[in-house]
Amino acid sequence: MAPGTPHSSVPSRPDRSTSAHQDARIDDLLAEGPTLSLEFFPPKTDRGVANLLDTVDELEDLNPDFVSVTYGAGGSTRDRTRDLVVSANADRNYPVMAHLTCVGHTRSELAELLEDYAASGVRNILALAGDPPADGSPAGGDFTYATELVELIREVGDFSVGVAAHPETHPRSPDRASDRRHLADKLEVADFAITQFFFSASDYFEMVDELTALGVTTPIVPGVIPVTNPVSVARFADMAKAHRPHELWARYESVADDEAALMEVAVEAAANLAEELLAGGAPGVHLYALNRAEAPLGVGARLGWRIRPAVEATDG
């Protein structure tokens, strides 16, 4: 198969190489056709940031449609997230989306940050409630729900706004029916959603069917994680109450001490999941890159989405 040629069951991505720009809205990109996006977290040190930017350079081979940068609990990475989003958004030919949580923040704090993003040319925000304090103490701040943050974002600027979705329900949801009603309410005010990672395509499609029955038409981009660190990912999955298929995890554990073999299994599993999702009509794939290039590049290659012409960043 020639580089850049999709597998027969994977739809082609639109060629955005001549129209890509930093202030593109993600909802507009999704309306054009399938997207490939990447998620990073802000490193704690300047050296870490430099290494991440090198990784982002390597991932230009994927010609991503957009990337996103996470936001630490309670705003613990506020400045590093902001600086990374603003600088990367200015330097790349695709939009960089800022994650933003509201629990523990005041309205004025968030409005100030949003105004800063708007003035800096950032056009895309992922609105999240965020986790309450682990010790059970009051979170403080002016917000409780992501829908409240979406309302504030709409008031402050003309952003494309995404929210989170959990295919296997949010870990704090009392039951599946109430989870889906709450998610439908979020999607009614948002432009798109990105999911928590999961490992079975059926979980995604069941969620979409349930939301469709509630009248939801908002695009929901599935999140896929290459499991290059089974211990760490298992911990995150258990916290999110994401089911880990026994047979799949047994494969990871059988090669856990062989880095090359583990990478091969991780890429194969993530690519197979992504292919099944795209073939079934998912509007794109959002890869949790974990600030590394090798696994996302491998997934992109298997999908036939890796080698695409890049364009130079411009001042305009």
Beta bridge partners of 126: 99, 162
Report residue 190 as tokens: 């948002």
Cβ 165 vs Cβ 196: under 8 Å: yes
Token pair listed for 175 = 């039951």
Roughly how many angstroms between the first and final C-alpha of the chain, as a whole number? Answer: 36
Is position 259 annotated as part of the catalytic site? no
35-40: strand order across its sheet? 220-221, 192-195, 160-165, 124-128, 96-101, 66-69, 35-40, 284-288, 223-224
Helix, strand, coil distribution of the chain in percent, nearest 5: 45, 15, 40
Residue 284: its H or E element: strand 284-288
Catalytic residue IDs: 39
